[in-house]
A = this chain, B = another copy of it.
């Protein structure tokens, strides 16, 4: 690997001069500039960002902490984040935690030891001990929370209005005439789940529909959870005529359960998802869902963190995106009235 020293020698200048022309810092005469550039080209000098990072205290890398890249929501998100980071010259360290706090803590330590310029957290949990710890130990480390909310903590955040999404999904079902609407979502420790549920209840209340606790399930944001819980719900004496799934993944499980029980979607069961992931259009019938602007959210998260890296910000930035209703083919009027 050719170093700046060799370039300096080749060009007959000091290494500081080489550094200057390469970084466009300070003055350099056109002549020496040329000489240096020639030497650089001749030796095919690339430079070490590692060494540069030592002095500049900037590695041009970011950490992205998510539960699982296999989860479609996070792969979409990660792509958006990586693309935008790349535009700004940053690379991404990908970290899968499976929502394991210990694993997360280890990743955080490692990322910091490697000198990342910032960390983007995208876990669904409200309990954010690790983030709090990190913020305490490294108050100057830029942190952005993407897709969730941490209470009582001065961290920048980019999220979607989950309440609004829950409200829109449920309202749509109510408008179609449904009254027996079930809700299956992730756990109560998930901010998204809780908020979506609030939106669900609000819509129900607003329309004078009484809330049936048996129809509300907090479990996991996985397909299996959708399957298992839908199976139970759909075998009740009075089964729901519609299910609002807290994520498209859960909706996939609901489809499978319905399929197994020979219940047709949407004729006999309406389903609404959340996220508008790739799954939505693969399912048959295509899934009506709540569209989350993942791409924009990922972009904004990077923009904020890049801004943070450049200059300390004294206020907390909080971006709340509005989800939109995406109608496809999985909902219809309730069976009995249809």
* Residue positions of A touching B, CB distance < 8 A: 1, 44, 46-51, 53-54, 59-61, 68-70, 72, 75-76, 78-79, 82-83, 91-96, 109-115, 137-138, 223, 252, 255, 259, 278-279, 282-284
User: With A79-B96, A93-B93, A94-B94 in contact, do A49 and B282 touch (Cβ < 8 Å)?
Assistant: no
Interface-central residue, A50, A53, A259, by most chain B CB under 10 Å? A50
25 contacts between A and B (CB under 8 A): A46-B109, A48-B113, A48-B115, A49-B110, A49-B113, A50-B50, A50-B53, A50-B59, A50-B113, A50-B114, A50-B115, A60-B114, A61-B114, A68-B79, A70-B76, A75-B75, A78-B94, A79-B96, A82-B94, A91-B93, A94-B94, A255-B282, A259-B284, A279-B282, A282-B283
Q: Cα distance A33–B43 when bound, in Å?
A: 46
Chain B residue at smallest Cβ distance from A75: B75
User: With A68-B79, A78-B69, A278-B70 in contact, do A61 and B113 touch (Cβ < 8 Å)?
Assistant: no
Copies in the complex: 2
A57 to chain B, nearest CB (A): 9
Q: Cα distance A279–B277 when bound, in Å?
A: 13
Chain B residue at smallest Cβ distance from A47: B113
Q: Cα distance A92–B61 when bound, in Å?
A: 11
Q: Cα distance A51–B51 when bound, in Å?
A: 8
Q: Cα distance A54–B1 when bound, in Å?
A: 13
Q: Cα distance A235–B256 when bound, in Å?
A: 30
Determine the chain B residues whose CB is within 8 A of the CB of A75 once the complex forms. Answer: 69-70, 72, 75
